[in-house]
Structure 1
Amino acid sequence: MGNFPGHALPGSFFIFFGLWWTFHMFYRYYIALNKNTKFTSSVIFNCPCLCGRFKDWPIEAYFKLMCICIGFFLEIYTGFSKDWRFVNIGNGQHATMFFFFGLSSVVDILLHYKWPLPPSMDYVSLFLAITVEFILFKFHLHGRTDLDVLLHTLLLYAIAASIISVILEMKYKNNIMCALSRAYCTLLQGTWFWQIGWILYPPFKSSFRWDEDDHEQMMIATMIFAWHAGVNLLIVLAIGGVVAAAHRRFYTYSQEDSYAMKRLINSSSNGDSMVKINEDSESEVEFENTSMLS
């Protein structure tokens, strides 16, 4: 993982799932508002665009497991030398991180198919995976430059925030803010992974080179982390605004269609029957058969 692709790959995974969770959390929240029911979060979410027998498949868990397997085997493969000796211990740490996230995916799949596991085991396995990630990166910095240590320490802050958010979400599953905090912290991890790779292993040649022992440049890196935190918050709010606008428009159209159908039923007296709508409840329709006078 000591190169730019090694940071961009897990960063892309975290960004994807952070955005995926943000969208689905807002989507479920506004549906609950429209139906006047409680919002309830979950570790994984189904894809609403699927249909048929695939509609109830845990697509997210399968996709997450596939991504993690890719990362795991790439770390193992690149950790071997030409004579097939495993020489890169850093790759072993990263592979261990991928393994525990893969274990979390397996638990998600087993719970989906009603295996007799303890309650909230999906949250516990996710908590374990993020905690292992924190421990591995905490003791991953020995002998590094000051800038390298700073960048990964800032990443540790994002990981620690993710751990706290998972605990809060497990405790308060009906709180949208606790759920969104997990998505936000995951997104922050992803964008910061990319930033670490861009600073330490720039993919393009540039006239500007980071001095990894310069204090002023370390201060700049700290400011960049703060910008990541702010921009990611704006992204989460923007997704929420788009989902809210879409739900409001769809709900308004649904209401208009319902009222139009009521007017149509009320006006349809063609000689056989007359329909009377009970306006006190939108879900109840009373039909009265009456004889028409000639």
Structure 2
Amino acid sequence: MGTFGGHALPGSFFILYGLWSIWHILEKFYRRKSYELNKSNESTSEYTCRISYPIERKQQTENDIKKCFSCCKKSFPLDSLAKLVFCIIGIIGEVITGFSNDWIFVHIGNAQHSTMFSLFGLSGAIELCIFYGIFKIPLQSEYLFHGIALWGELFLFLFHLHHRNPLDVYLHILLTGMIILGILVSVVELLNPHEPIYGLIRSWTYLMQGTWFWQVSSINIFWRYFISLRCYAFLRLNY
């Protein structure tokens, strides 16, 4: 993750995942509101928060259903699948780049990054298992594994600062603050499942994490320049 690509991959995922969540939260909420205000004839259930938002498929005819595979449903968990795929790619990249030219694993930080990817990948895998009925557990169990992933990310970044220069430490402190906010909001959201505001705030923390990764990837390219100028004020305003 110390490279541009290593930061751009998780940054892109967090930004896309945040935008995806915001769109579906607002869509579900306003569809229900339109139905309650008699502005729509489409009957929709009451808004209930969740971590994953599968794509709802269009109405299928009987012939279409017969042609479809047995695993097909009225919706498809694209976000959960993307989360798992992104994390697998991240793990492979971290493991490969962690070795020296003599195939000795020398970059211990890559092992920490792989652990973070593994936790988020586990969250995506659990969401897929819940969606396809492999695990017969409540839908809100998504929050448990999502929380574990965030706690793991927070723990790893807190212990990722040893023997780092002041600028590097400051950068990671900015991120840990956003992770803590995401954890707290997730707990409040779980306790208030019909309030969309908490889901929107949680999704906003994803966007902020994504922008952090992209900004840090740019800083890595001009690292000596930033170190020489000690651009703490710039980073604070930019983030």
TM-score w.r.t. structure 1 length? Answer: 0.70
Cα distance, 1:200 vs structure 2: 2.9
Cα distance, 1:54 vs structure 2: 5.6
Cα distance, 1:118 vs structure 2: 5.2
In structure 2, what is the Cα distance between the partners aligned to 1:118 and 1:49?
Answer: 23
In structure 2, what is the Cα distance between the partners aligned to 1:116 and 1:32?
Answer: 27
Residues 30-45 of structure 1 mapped to structure 2, 5 A cutoff: 30-36=30-36, 38-45=46-53
Aligned counterpart in structure 1 of residue 131 of structure 2, from 112, 120, 129: 112
Unaligned regions of 5+ residues in structure 1, if any?
226-294
In structure 2, what is the Cα distance between the partners aligned to 1:117 and 1:40?
Answer: 17
Q: Does 1:210 align with 2:226?
A: yes
In structure 2, what is the Cα distance between the partners aligned to 1:183 and 1:38?
Answer: 20
Identity %: 36
Cα distance, 1:41 vs structure 2: 1.5
Runs of 4+ with >6 A deviation: none
Amino acid at match of 2:25: M
Confirm or deny: 8 A CA contact 2:88 2:117 kept in the other structure.
Answer: yes
In structure 2, what is the Cα distance between the partners aligned to 1:87 and 1:167?
Answer: 38
Higher RCO (C-alpha under 8 Å, 6+ residues apart)? 2
Cα distance, 1:213 vs structure 2: 7.0
Cα distance, 1:116 vs structure 2: 2.1
In structure 2, what is the Cα distance between the partners aligned to 1:201 and 1:121?
Answer: 40
Deviates more, 1:20-29 or 1:113-122: 113-122
Q: 2:171 — aligned with what?
A: 151
Query: 2:76 aligns to what SS in structure 1?
Result: coil
In structure 2, what is the Cα distance between the partners aligned to 1:128 and 1:213?
Answer: 38
Q: 2:233 — aligned with what?
A: 219
Q: 2:207 — aligned with what?
A: 187
Q: 1:4 — aligned with what?
A: 4
Q: 1:272 — aligned with what?
A: none
Confirm or deny: 8 A CA contact 2:123 2:145 kept in the other structure.
Answer: yes
In structure 2, what is the Cα distance between the partners aligned to 1:176 and 1:168?
Answer: 11
| 1:10–1:202 CA distance, 2 compared to 1 (3 A) | farther
| 1:143–1:24 CA distance, 2 compared to 1 (3 A) | same
In structure 1, what is the Cα distance between the partners aligned to 2:126 and 2:160?
Answer: 27
Confirm or deny: 8 A CA contact 2:22 2:203 kept in the other structure.
Answer: yes
Q: 2:145 — aligned with what?
A: 125
Confirm or deny: 8 A CA contact 1:148 1:212 kept in the other structure.
Answer: no
Aligned length: 219
Deviates more, 1:95-104 or 1:76-85: 76-85
Cα distance, 1:59 vs structure 2: 2.1
Residues 127-276 of structure 1 mapped to structure 2, 5 A cutoff: 127-202=147-222, 209-211=225-227, 214=230, 217-225=231-239
Q: Does 1:69 align with 2:83?
A: no
Query: 1:16 aligns to what SS in structure 2?
Result: helix
| 1:129–1:84 CA distance, 2 compared to 1 (3 A) | same
Confirm or deny: 8 A CA contact 1:145 1:212 kept in the other structure.
Answer: no
In structure 1, what is the Cα distance between the partners aligned to 2:150 and 2:29?
Answer: 25
Query: Once the two structures are superposed, what CA deviation does each residue of 1:57-86 show, in whole Å capped at 9, x if it has no partner?
Result: 322211211111111111111111222221
In structure 2, what is the Cα distance between the partners aligned to 1:88 and 1:173?
Answer: 42
Cα distance, 1:201 vs structure 2: 2.6
Cα distance, 1:212 vs structure 2: 5.4
Confirm or deny: 8 A CA contact 1:40 1:173 kept in the other structure.
Answer: yes
Query: 2:193 aligns to what SS in structure 1?
Result: coil
Confirm or deny: 8 A CA contact 2:15 2:210 kept in the other structure.
Answer: yes
Q: Does 1:59 align with 2:78?
A: yes
Confirm or deny: 8 A CA contact 2:99 2:107 kept in the other structure.
Answer: yes
Query: Once the two structures are superposed, what CA deviation does each residue of 1:181-201 show, in whole Å capped at 9, x if it has no partner?
Result: 110000100001111121233
Provide the aligned C-alpha RMSD in A.
2.0
